[in-house]
Amino acid sequence: MQPIINSRIPEFKVQAYHNGEFKTITDKDTLGKWSVFFFYPADFTFVCPTELVDVAEKYEYLQSIGVEVYSVSTDSHFTHKAWHDTSESINKIKYPMLADHTGELSRAFGVLNEEDYLAYRGTFVANPEGIVKVLEVNDGPIGRNAAELVRKIEAAQFVAEHKDEVCPAKWEKGKETLKPSIDLVGKI
């Protein structure tokens, strides 16, 4: 298994459903802003809509701090549209829904379950240069928490701006950070 932290996101070109339209999204479209790749197993399922709506409820805030969200499953862009059109919950989604029906993107991020051809619940946060700074991967039955995702993004943005500081456990925006030095060794 190759480490993905601090590696560049893979090159890709996929179809997406976004704001009532089919669009082509590439890795180049993600550069210049923070990006979240939010992989999930499948449309028309059970845990997936709860997660996607949870992220949708944070989407306006995420955009205000320079973040774009890309949900990704191995469904087609046609299936994304059908789900969006028929589900009151999914209709709330304003971020692009990427169609990875070849599994290429899920495989490149290391979250494709080759047995059932569904993605694990993988969350990847990339900086504006396309470098992965945060990742979390859960098995199918375990849902994620968008509030914790926001906290991790804020921490990643903070340390990107403050190279001499680090964020301790449970750090929240505006709270005290640490400045690593020999004086802290054994004192925390």
User: How many angstroms separate the CA atoms of 188 and 177, rounded?
Assistant: 12
Neighbouring residues of 162: CB distance < 8 A, sequence distance ≥ 6 = 177
Strands 67-73, 34-39: pairing kind: parallel
Q: Tell me which of 9, 14, 36, 48 is the catalytic residue.
A: 48
Q: What is the DSSP letter of 53?
A: H
Question: Which residues, listed in sequence order, are joined to residue 111 by a DSSP beta bridge?
Answer: none
- How many Å apart are CA 76 and CA 60, to the nearest integer? 25
Beta-carbon neighbour count of residue 186 at 10 Å?
6
Measure the CA angle with vertex 99, ends 97 and 104; round to 5°: 130
Cα separation, 32 vs 36, in Å, equals 13
Distance of alpha carbon 136 from alpha carbon 184, whole angstroms: 29
Residue 167 annotated as catalytic = no
Active site residues: 48
